């Protein structure tokens, strides 16, 4: 088979020129017709050009390369192409807390600013938000214009992902409120703590609306082989977006599911049951006011009152006795041991 680029002869069945590396016409295994490079089906008989023989050849080259190490430079262009022609469609089911937020009145802001100025405003807003999200181990799944879709619980799960999301939301609203779009291109200044800058300046303070919801999702790759992304599928992201639509400027609104997970850790104002677009059942919503004094679920449980110990009179008495001796300057050591899952924290 002769290469049309350098006119070198190549063995029959070759897909790339062994002299210059240029792609060679594909020969149909069924009718022998030569097809242009990149064709997926024979233009003569309609046979797939990515049949078992072609796929087998690709897999053998990828396997041979893997044996000597995953060096991209050693892989042929066709082997690289084969690796990008498949998507991981298996998916992973998990519990996720999803945050969705965007700028308030971004359309009006884009009308007031030059496109380059507006770009700098959005970029600074995104960078400020991303810094807060990273600090709480959140994952930015998508930048949607001036909006952000964020996951807490993926790829790294924590037992307090819901609380991390709410704390991040409160910090984002505080940080964004300090950003002020300047009439000068590419510049931002901090909002002055004193009055006296004029009402026109304060009207242009950036504000965001944040919605948070927790629920089950399936994480999977979505898109085409050429362009794909890892997204959480299910109603949870959709509900988070609808909850965000109910938030006032610079407010964090959470669903009842998320509120149940963070109750006691934050002071919340009940917003009542709200119908949300696209959902058959209205949801109870809460606006987060501020973080409470309790920093853990155990501290919340202590404030509400712990369940009395049952059948541990001897152990409790022993701890009380040792504590009284310790208060009299007699050093004491007590070892608490037990199976995983039982409470081993002494009563206060």
Pairing between β-strand 208-223 and β-strand 251-255 as defined by DSSP bridges: parallel
pLDDT tens for the chain, 348 residues long, are 677 677 778 777 677 777 777 777 777 777 777 777 767 777 777 777 764 444 334 444 334 334 444 444 444 544 444 444 455 567 789 999 999 999 998 888 888 888 888 888 889 999 999 999 999 999 999 998 889 999 999 988 998 999 999 999 999 999 988 876 554 334 444 444 444 444 433 446 788 999 999 999 998 887 777 777 888 899 999 999 999 999 999 999 999 999 999 988 899 999 999 988 888 889 999 999 998 877 777 677 666 767 777 888 888 889 899 999 999 999 999 888 878 766 666 555
Kindly state whether residues 151 and 279 are assigned to the same domain.
yes
Domain end position, chosen among 300, 316, 340: 300
Kindly state whether residues 321 and 239 are assigned to the same domain.
no
Kindly state whether residues 171 and 190 are assigned to the same domain.
yes
Domain annotation covers residue 44: no
Q: CA-to-CA distance for 6 and 19, rounded, in angstroms?
A: 8
Angle, helices 115-135 vs 161-177, to 10°: value is: 140
Q: How many domains does the chain have?
A: 2
Distances from the Cα of 347 to the Cα of 146, 306, 317, 325, 344, angstroms = 50, 9, 11, 17, 9
Kindly state whether residues 312 and 282 are assigned to the same domain.
no
Domain annotation covers residue 158: yes
Structure tokens at 40: 């997926």
Provide the whole-model pTM.
Answer: 0.61
- CA nearest to 126, candidates 166, 163, 179: 179
* Residue range(s) defining the domain that contains residue 318: 307-348
Kindly state whether residues 143 and 160 are assigned to the same domain.
yes
Kindly state whether residues 257 and 181 are assigned to the same domain.
yes
Domain end position, chosen among 269, 284, 300: 300
For residue 58, the model assigns a pLDDT of: 41
Kindly state whether residues 268 and 324 are assigned to the same domain.
no
Domain annotation covers residue 84: no
pLDDT tens-place string over residues 222-273: 777 777 788 889 999 999 999 999 999 999 999 999 999 998 889 999 999 9
Domain annotation covers residue 11: no
Kindly state whether residues 209 and 243 are assigned to the same domain.
yes
Question: For the domain that residue 271 is a member of, what is the CATH number?
Answer: 3.30.70.1230
């Amino acid at each position: 088979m002769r290469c049309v680029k350098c006119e070198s002869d190549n063995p029959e069945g070759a897909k790339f020129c062994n002299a210059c590396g240029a792609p060679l016409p594909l020969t149909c295994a069924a009718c022998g017709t030569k097809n242009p490079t990149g064709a997926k089906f024979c233009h003569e008989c309609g046979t797939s050009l990515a049949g078992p023989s072609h796929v087998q050849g690709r897999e053998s080259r990828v396997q041979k390369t893997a044996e000597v190490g995953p060096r991209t430079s050693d892989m042929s262009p066709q082997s690289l192409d084969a690796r990008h022609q498949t998507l991981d469609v298996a998916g992973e089911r998990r519990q996720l807390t999803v945050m969705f937020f965007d700028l308030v009145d971004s359309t009006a802001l884009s009308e007031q600013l030059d496109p380059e100025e507006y770009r700098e405003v959005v970029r600074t807003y995104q960078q400020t938000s991303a810094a807060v999200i990273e600090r709480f181990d959140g994952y930015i799944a998508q930048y949607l214009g001036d909006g952000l879709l964020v996951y807490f619980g993926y790829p790294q799960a924590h037992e307090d992902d819901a609380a991390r999301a709410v704390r991040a939301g409160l910090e984002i609203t505080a940080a964004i409120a300090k950003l002020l779009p300047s009439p000068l291109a590419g510049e931002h200044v901090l909002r002055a703590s004193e009055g006296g800058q004029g009402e026109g300046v304060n009207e242009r303070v950036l504000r965001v609306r944040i919605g948070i919801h927790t629920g089950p999702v399936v994480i999977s790759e979505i898109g085409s082989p050429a362009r794909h992304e890892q997204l959480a599928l299910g109603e949870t992201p959709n509900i988070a977006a609808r909850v965000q639509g109910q938030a006032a400027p610079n407010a964090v609104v959470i669903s009842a599911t998320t509120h149940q997970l963070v109750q006691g850790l934050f002071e919340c104002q009940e917003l009542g049951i709200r119908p949300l677009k696209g959902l058959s059942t209205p949801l109870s919503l809460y606006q987060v006011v501020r973080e409470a004094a309790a920093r853990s679920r155990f501290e919340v449980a202590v404030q509400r009152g712990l369940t009395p110990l049952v059948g541990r009179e001897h152990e409790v008495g022993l701890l009380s006795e040792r504590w009284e001796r310790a208060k009299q300057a007699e050093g004491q050591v007590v070892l608490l041991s037990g199976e995983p899952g039982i409470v081993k924290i002494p009563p206060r």
